[in-house]
A and B are shown apart, each in its own frame.
Chain A
Amino acid sequence: MPASLNRRQLLSRSTAAGFFMVAGQWLWLTPQEAQARAFEPQILSPDQCNALSSLGDAFVPGAAAGGIAAYIDLQLQAGDDSLLIGKYLGVDTSAQTGFYRAAADNVIALTDESTSLQTFIADMAADSLSNWAGPPASYVLFVLRADALDVVYGTPEGFDTLGIPYMAHIKPEKPW
């Protein structure tokens, strides 16, 4: 994030939108916009972002365009203030960067262009991927799928897609 902002200033504005590096400039964007503008991740590598994006989208169609990689990278930058659901699921904020990097590296190592992601997901669910490293694949599936649900359906627009009235008292900042 820009050196001129400290983390508290960054987070006080919005947890949905954030500063993303695009073409060498810090821009205030939503994760969806950041994804569309080929943001430069700060914590994950571009390949790791692509891997999480592909897998997240396979879990929950729309997660890639919704900016799941940008969302995760942004929240990882927040450190202790990360809002990723992982902290409810046993992935403490201090462990989240390692968790997502390991997840992405597994996908990179174990898939190629010929891989059926649906088959890969079934193998993750069954913990039957023999060279999977780190936290169990089924656990990673649960966490990353929950992130994808956040990105696609945890917004007023996502509720609208499902035909649910959002009924906010205080609306979250757009574009969630």
Chain B
Amino acid sequence: MCLAVPMKLTKVASDKLSGSAEFDGIERDVNLSLIEKPRVGDYVIIHAGFAIEKFNAKEAKIQLELFREITEAVGLKKNMI
């Protein structure tokens, strides 16, 4: 019951309390009352029909970059052995 997934906002109502979000080709109505300033195009984490937090794409990129460096560094080490 705790399932939560990142979805992209496709619609935001004018009162910013509800909207629609898309994930893997599936669109569904979402309640946006628990997050600040939702905007179309934002990624949000959806749980039980509610956006519970915004997704920070910048932080995701930093982490993926770090993973790339780790993979390369370890790969290099493998080659040195």
Chains A and B are bound partners: no
Point out residues on B near A: beta carbons under 8 Å.
none
Point out residues on A near B: beta carbons under 8 Å.
none
